[in-house]
């Protein structure tokens, strides 16, 4: 049996979730890979590949959800996005013209990084091209983030020390604001 350090399993799992459009930002996970590599806790290349493959798997899951559930699902639930047959047709035409470039380029745009998998699945983009464009986009993006983590490792240490020092003060202030908001919104306090 292969003994995989837990850190790689965490990176892999978090990046699958990030690739599936869940609010796990690669902008936090992958710079930490770089940071921890400067401490000798993670091999930067292994961490990069594990994270990139995780993102790819998450993106493929979103692609397959759109491919399998497709237009009938969007017709039923698309009201939230104000989608109708005309808009779906326009999206499909646009994506068939610019799909490959869109999948690659949107991998560099936060939030849309994961969401671009849905129109790719809806338009039935060639899965091999989707995987290649997605992998290359994720690899370049994740490489830049790992580099940032390595380059600014000392800044991370300063930031972590500041957070540790002021965490209790910030938590108390946030708690007071939340309680005040609830009291004012619930008409318990009147101004």
Give residue 32's Cα distance to chain centre.
Answer: 15
The torsion of the CA quartet 92, 93, 97, 99, rounded to 10 degrees, works out to -10
pTM of the model: 0.75
Q: How far is 25 from 18, CA to CA, in rounded Å?
A: 6
Q: How far apart are the first and last CA of the chain?
A: 66
Tens digit of each residue's pLDDT (9 = 90 or more) over 64-120: 988 998 877 766 665 445 566 677 777 777 777 788 888 998 898 877 788 888 889
Q: Which residues contact 14 (CB under 8 A, 6 or more apart)?
A: 24, 29, 54
Q: How far is 125 from 99, CA to CA, in rounded Å?
A: 7
* Domain boundaries, given as residue ranges, for the chain: 6-151, 154-191
| Residue 177: DSSP 8-state | H
Tens digit of each residue's pLDDT (9 = 90 or more) over 111-162: 778 888 888 998 889 999 999 999 999 999 999 999 999 998 888 777 666 6
Q: Where are the beta strands (DSSP E) in the chain?
A: none
Local structure of 152: helix, strand or coil: coil
Structure tokens at 106: 């949107």
| Residue 123: DSSP 8-state | T
Nearest to 68 by CA among 12, 31, 121: 121
């Amino acid at each position: 049996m292969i003994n995989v350090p837990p850190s790689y399993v965490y990176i892999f799992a978090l990046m699958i979730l990030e690739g599936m459009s869940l609010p796990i930002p690669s902008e936090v996970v992958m710079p930490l890979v770089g940071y921890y590599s400067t401490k000798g806790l993670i091999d930067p290349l292994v961490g990069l590949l594990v994270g990139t493959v995780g993102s790819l798997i998450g993106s493929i899951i979103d692609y397959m959800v759109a491919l399998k559930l497709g237009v009938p699902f969007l017709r039923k639930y698309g009201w939230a996005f104000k989608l109708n047959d005309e808009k779906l047709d326009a999206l499909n035409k646009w994506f068939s013209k610019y799909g490959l470039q869109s999948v690659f380029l949107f991998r560099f745009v936060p939030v849309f990084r994961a969401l671009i998998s849905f129109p790719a699945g809806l338009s039935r983009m060639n899965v091999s091209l989707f995987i290649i464009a997605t992998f290359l986009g994720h690899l370049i993006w994740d490489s830049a983030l790992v580099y940032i983590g390595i380059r600014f490792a000392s800044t991370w240490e300063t930031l972590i020390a500041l957070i540790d020092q002021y965490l209790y003060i910030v938590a108390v202030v946030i708690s007071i604001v939340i309680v005040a908001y609830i009291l004012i919104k619930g008409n318990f306090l009147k101004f």
